[in-house]
């Protein structure tokens, strides 16, 4: 990177651009499709890895260049920030937490959140992961006995909601067991609305409310009520057990304890609880769904996962502890390959806080830049046969023909100082559940593979994924 003040050889106006509307530019195309990631991919195919678009006169850089993308991520929080419009849309929903704050405020939020999710803390919560995995296996067993096909995405979301609420807030949600899952339904309302509002040229919802806006308001109210219940219960625990103040057992308790030094306002505590719920659920559950999508088409891979499970934890239903979990190298390879080929976060939205030059590209202050990370993750130059699902490429003894292998390209969890703090938890959830599922069941798609489609609603998930589970 060049230092500030130096001009790059190229700037936004020198970049190529896909064809767009003479007045509204590329906005109509972007707004028209909920699947924004596919619009971006089409443009990358048309213009290459660095180009510009404009949304009704507002210019944006789109970069699928891994070197530029890595630098943008690394230059936060000083030179780049998350897209201010995105942060504002989330703030308007009443949420102000680690994901959508900047500068010193972000630093203050990041410390307790990252600490609550660090390897040591997550390892200590392993029994929670096991209990939830067993509960879900029992439920799948009942589906199998009834010959029922499973809409897995919803089931995996219940799994991740229960784990996050237990680990981060000490609250037993039992979304897996609930019959009418209204809380989960409310959470599902949020992402599509964030996705739609980011691309809206005018914030019409401030002037009149559509049915969807009203549904969102109702969902936000219901979630607010539940979160306040988490907070009340955590306050009661702290009051009942003064020792907890010295050693808070989860994120919420820690935020509340620090609140006594006026570090975190009630609004900030609420914002971070909400952020964790949003950030940890769809991302992880959709990744598990994508893995199941591939496994259901590859019985030989299911057998390998099962053989590994039998060899590592024998008669047990789930790996008894973290050591056993970490021995599941093939299952972990399935998880890594899923995160590479179907990143649930295919692009990230950023904005320059000051003039910056990266790789000869001059990026002026306030320029919006979309980091398209998915294309590099499947490019032949970085991964041999990159469009194919080949978990063995992640094994220590990988086949010689898979010679291109560049893990640095993977940005599914972001990068730089703001990379995802939930990466370790998410990976554990994915590996644990996949291993336990394949140990007990054969998997089969209940629809044609072509009928399962990529859907983007702020995270990318497999639409119409229906799976049949048969006990082995």
Residue 309 or residue 348: which is nearer to ligand HEM going by CB? 348
Residue 425 near ligand HEM by CB under 6 A: yes
Q: Which residues contact 96 (CB under 8 A, 6 or more apart)?
A: 90, 267, 268, 271
Please list, residue by residue across 455-467, b when 16 or more beta carbons sit within 10 angstroms of its beta carbon and e when fewer do. Answer: bbbbbbbbeebbb
Q: By CB under 6 A, which span of 28-36, 185-193, 280-288, 359-367 interacts with ligand HEM?
A: 280-288
Scan residues 438-467 and list those touching ligand HEM (CB under 6 A).
Answer: none
Q: What is the C-alpha separation between 196 and 206, in angstroms, rounded?
A: 14
Evaluate whether 383 touches 404 at the Cβ level (below 8 Å). Answer: yes
Residue 414 near ligand HEM by CB under 6 A: yes
Which of 344, 347, 372, 377 lies at the binding interface for ligand HEM (CB under 6 A)?
344
Angle between helices 299-313 and 329-341 (to 10 degrees): 140
Residue 181 or residue 412: which is nearer to ligand HEM going by CB? 412
Q: By CB under 6 A, which span of 23-31, 151-159, 256-264, 279-287 interacts with ligand HEM?
A: 279-287
Which structure tokens are listed for 440?
A: 């007990």
Residue 425 has a CB neighbour count (10 Å cut-off) of 25
E strands, 368-446, in order: 368-372, 441-445
Which of 158, 279, 295, 356 lies at the binding interface for ligand HEM (CB under 6 A)?
279
Which structure tokens are listed for 168?
A: 């981060």
Angle at 292 between CA 423 and CA 341, to 5 degrees: 60
Quote the least distance from Cβ 157 to ligand HEM, whole Å.
Answer: 12
Residue 420 near ligand HEM by CB under 6 A: yes
Residue 230 near ligand HEM by CB under 6 A: no
Residue 143 near ligand HEM by CB under 6 A: no
Angle at 250 between CA 282 and CA 325, to 5 degrees: 65
Quote the least distance from Cβ 285 to ligand HEM, whole Å.
Answer: 9
Residue 291 near ligand HEM by CB under 6 A: no
Residue 98 near ligand HEM by CB under 6 A: yes
Residue 69 near ligand HEM by CB under 6 A: no
Scan residues 102-121 and list those touching ligand HEM (CB under 6 A).
Answer: 110, 113, 117
Residue 415 near ligand HEM by CB under 6 A: yes
Sequential DSSP letters for 236-292: HHHHH-THHHHS--SHHHHHHHHHTTT-S-HHHHHHHHHHHHHHHHHHHHHHHHHHH
Residue 353 near ligand HEM by CB under 6 A: no
Residues that bind ligand HEM (CB under 6 A): 73, 98-99, 110, 113, 117, 164, 275-276, 279-280, 283-284, 287, 344-345, 348, 412-416, 418-422, 425-426
């Amino acid at each position: 990177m060049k230092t500030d003040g130096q001009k790059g050889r190229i700037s936004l106006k020198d970049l190529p651009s896909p064809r767009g509307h003479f007045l509204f530019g590329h906005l109509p195309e972007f707004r028209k499709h909920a699947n924004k990631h596919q619009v971006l991919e089409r443009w990358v195919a048309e213009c290459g890895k660095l180009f510009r678009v404009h949304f009704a006169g507002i210019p944006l850089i789109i970069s699928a260049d891994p070197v530029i993308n890595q630098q943008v991520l690394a230059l936060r929080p000083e030179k780049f920030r998350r897209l201010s419009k995105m942060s504002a849309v989330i703030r308007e929903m009443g949420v102000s937490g680690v994901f959508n704050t900047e500068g010193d405020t972000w630093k203050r939020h990041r410390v307790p959140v990252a600490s609550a999710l660090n390897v040591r803390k997550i390892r200590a919560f392993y029994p929670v992961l096991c209990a939830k995995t067993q509960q879900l296996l029992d439920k799948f067993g009942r589906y199998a006995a009834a010959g029922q096909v499973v809409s897995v995405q919803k089931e995996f979301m219940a799994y991740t909601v229960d784990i996050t609420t237990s680990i981060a807030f000490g609250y037993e949600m039992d979304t897996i067991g609930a019959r009418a899952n209204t809380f989960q339904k409310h959470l599902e309302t949020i992402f599509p609305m964030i996705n739609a509002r980011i691309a809206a040229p005018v914030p019409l919802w401030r002037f009149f409310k559509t049915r969807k806006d009203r549904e969102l308001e109702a969902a936000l109210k219901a979630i607010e009520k539940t979160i306040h219940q988490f907070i009340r219960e955590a306050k009661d625990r702290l009051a009942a057990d003064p020792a907890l103040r010295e050693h808070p057992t989860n994120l919420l308790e820690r935020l509340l304890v620090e609140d006594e030094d006026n570090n975190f306002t009630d609004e900030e505590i609420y914002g971070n609880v909400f952020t964790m719920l949003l950030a940890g659920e769809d991302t992880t559950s959709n990744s598990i769904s994508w893995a199941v999508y591939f496994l259901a088409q590859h019985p030989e891979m299911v057998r390998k996962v099962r053989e590994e499970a039998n060899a590592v934890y024998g008669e047990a239903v789930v790996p008894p502890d973290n050591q056993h979990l970490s021995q599941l190298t093939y299952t972990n390879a399935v998880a890594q390959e899923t995160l590479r080929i179907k990143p649930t976060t295919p692009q990230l939205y950023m904005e320059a806080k000051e003039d910056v030059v990266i790789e000869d590209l001059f990026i002026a202050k306030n320029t919006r830049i979309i980091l398209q990370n998915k294309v590099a993750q499947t490019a032949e130059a970085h991964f041999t046969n990159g469009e194919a699902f080949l978990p063995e490429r992640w094994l220590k003894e990988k086949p010689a023909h898979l010679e291109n292998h560049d893990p640095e390209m993977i940005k599914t969890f972001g990068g730089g100082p703001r990379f995802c703090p939930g990466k370790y938890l998410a990976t554990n959830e994915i590996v644990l559940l996949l291993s336990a599922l394949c140990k007990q069941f054969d998997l089969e798609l209940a629809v044609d593979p072509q009928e399962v489609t990529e859907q983007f609603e702020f995270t990318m998930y497999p639409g119409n994924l229906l799976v049949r589970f048969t006990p082995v």
